[in-house]
Amino acid sequence: MYLGFLALHSVLPLPPRVDEPLRLIVLSLVIWFASRRVLDFRISRWTGSLALGVAIFLLWILPDTLMPGYRHSIIFQNALTGKTASSLAPGAITDPLILVLRTLRSFALVPVLEELFWRGWLMRWVIDPDFTRVPLGTYARNAFWIVAVLFAAEHGSYWDVGLVAGILFNYWMVRTRSLGDLILSHAVANLSLSAYVIASGKWEYWL
């Protein structure tokens, strides 16, 4: 459903004040109807999960902060990875409603959807297509690295920090065996990055 919405959006782009609320609604419906039975928000390691989220946020901005122009290399911006540019329309960055909705989606919904997909499903499915037989956090080398690499690829020109983040998230899933802990870490990382983007004007981090 959500992929269909994104495909339609690429053909019929909507004004930001329509697009952002619609994305929020569609993503919420997808999570509610498709995943509410398997969602588990119980957290077993609050301190570690919060610290991991902050660490991944810092990891995300560190290369560009320490080495201005670092991401302009062809290694990061090319036909395969795309360009470092925000998906926000130019006028949207001055619209408080758009910024609030984008931030809300980033930390409240995206972590739930991504953790359900990457570590709740795919990491187990690679081990056994009947993934329900595989406990959360089961370690298998192939599954661990396939998910880490694909997670990196999802983040386009930020694939390098995406790869390290994917490794750390995978490790934390193996360590905690807890979907709730992963959602918390991912939410903290995304919320921290959103706050940084708005405060610094580094809109390129919002792909």
The single residue listed with the structure tokens 């004004």 is 15
**Region for 59 from its dihedrals, namely left if φ exceeds 0, alpha if ψ lies in -120 to 50, beta otherwise:** alpha
116 vs 86, residue with greater confidence: 116
Inside any domain, residue 27:
no
pLDDT-wise least confident of 8-17, 58-67, 98-107, 121-130: 8-17
**Region for 45 from its dihedrals, namely left if φ exceeds 0, alpha if ψ lies in -120 to 50, beta otherwise:** beta
Token code pair at residue 177: 């065996």
Inside any domain, residue 16:
no
Average pLDDT for 142-148: 98
Inside any domain, residue 6:
no
What distance in Å separates the CA atoms of residue 189 and residue 61, rounded to the nearest whole number?
11
Confidence of residue 11 (pLDDT cuts 50, 70, 90): low
Inside any domain, residue 18:
no
Q: Given a cut of 70, is residue 10 above it in pLDDT?
A: no
Inside any domain, residue 139:
yes
Q: Given a cut of 60, is residue 5 above it in pLDDT?
A: no
Residue 16 has a pLDDT of 78
Inside any domain, residue 33:
no
pLDDT-wise least confident of 47-56, 81-90, 185-194: 81-90
CB distance 109 to 194 below 8 Å: no
Under 8 Å CB-to-CB from 12, ≥6 apart: which residues? none
Token code pair at residue 181: 């802990």
Three-state DSSP at 115 gives helix
What distance in Å separates the CA atoms of residue 85 and residue 82, rounded to the nearest whole number?
9
Token code pair at residue 109: 């919904």
Residue 12 has a pLDDT of 64
Mean pLDDT across the chain, nearest whole number? 92
The domain in which residue 109 lies consists of 45-205
What would the pLDDT profile of 16-71 be if each residue is shown by its tens digit? 788 889 889 989 998 998 888 889 999 999 999 999 999 999 999 999 999 999 99
Cite the DSSP H helix spans in 12-88.
16-35, 46-66
Residue 15 has a pLDDT of 81
The total domain count for the chain is 1
Tally DSSP H helices, then E strands, for the chain.
9, 0
Residue type, 24: L
Q: What count of Cα atoms within 13 Å lies in the side-chain half-sphere of residue 39?
A: 15
What distance in Å separates the CA atoms of residue 57 and residue 159, rounded to the nearest whole number?
14
Model's pTM, two decimal places? 0.93
